[in-house]
Amino acid sequence: MNILQEILAGKKKEIAEARMLTPVERLEKSPLFERQTLKLTEYLSDPLKTGIIAEFKRRSPSKGIINDDADPERVISGYSQNGASGVSVLTDNTFFGGINTDLSRSRSLCNVPMLRKDFIIDEYQIVEARAIGADVILLIAAALEEKQVFRLARFANSLELQVLMEIHNRSEAAMINDFIDIAGVNNRDLNTFMVNIDVSFKIAGILPANLIRISESGISSPETIKILRDAGYNGFLLGEIFMKEADPVAAFIDFINKI
């Protein structure tokens, strides 16, 4: 069993427990459930914005602990106030150290779209995302079958949530459907967790021309951002480069100033 399979097996148990503790009916009564969502596609296509989706995560399976001391509200609001086009928040606890309240407690402090980054395999998680204040959900092609992608993306759109679909190769790109708002090309192979930035360049040419696209993982310099823009990317998801520093917000501001 590889890391992705292990994560998905645990996620099924986690969802079953969450359903019992917090039924869908209770989630739908959350104060954040009825809020007007923000469109990440609009923020990424705005030429006056940075295109950076800054990520908050404490740890990862490949790197272990990245930053266990960072305060989510301070970091997320700092990203938002200093030029991020969006903020990504890891909510998986077992492997990434995230919790739903990292997102929900930061919602009022963040004036840009917020992506709930998790391993979403069930409609329950999408209702949950709406209830904690997310604007966008992540669907990982490597973790889903094509019919699941279609069903979950359509359901997310029905709740006015946008969908970022993460792909890594040509066969996964073929799973894109009309309910996908953003294609995220992950330079990290989720089976091996190895990173290769060339993945973004290889896949750029096969993505639908009208689809907003972002490059994820392995981006460590402003120069890479410029090259990826030339290759047709509208946005760039960066997390570890900021989170590994004692002050992620200061690291983010320094990076933005160099673009």
20-69, pLDDT tens digit by residue? 999 999 999 999 999 999 999 999 999 888 999 999 999 988 889 999 99
pTM confidence score = 0.95
Q: What angle do CA 230, 233, 237 make, to 5 degrees?
A: 125
Residue 150: pLDDT band (50, 70, 90) is: very high
Architecture of the domain spanning 3-258: Alpha-Beta Barrel (3.20)
Q: What is the mean pLDDT of residues 2-20?
A: 92
Q: What is the spatial distance between Cα 14 and Cα 206, in angstroms, rounded to a whole number?
A: 36
> Hey, where are the domains in the chain?
3-258
pLDDT score of 252 more than 90: yes
83-105, pLDDT tens digit by residue? 999 999 999 999 999 999 999 99
Return the number of other C-beta atoms located less than 10 Å from residue 31's C-beta: 10
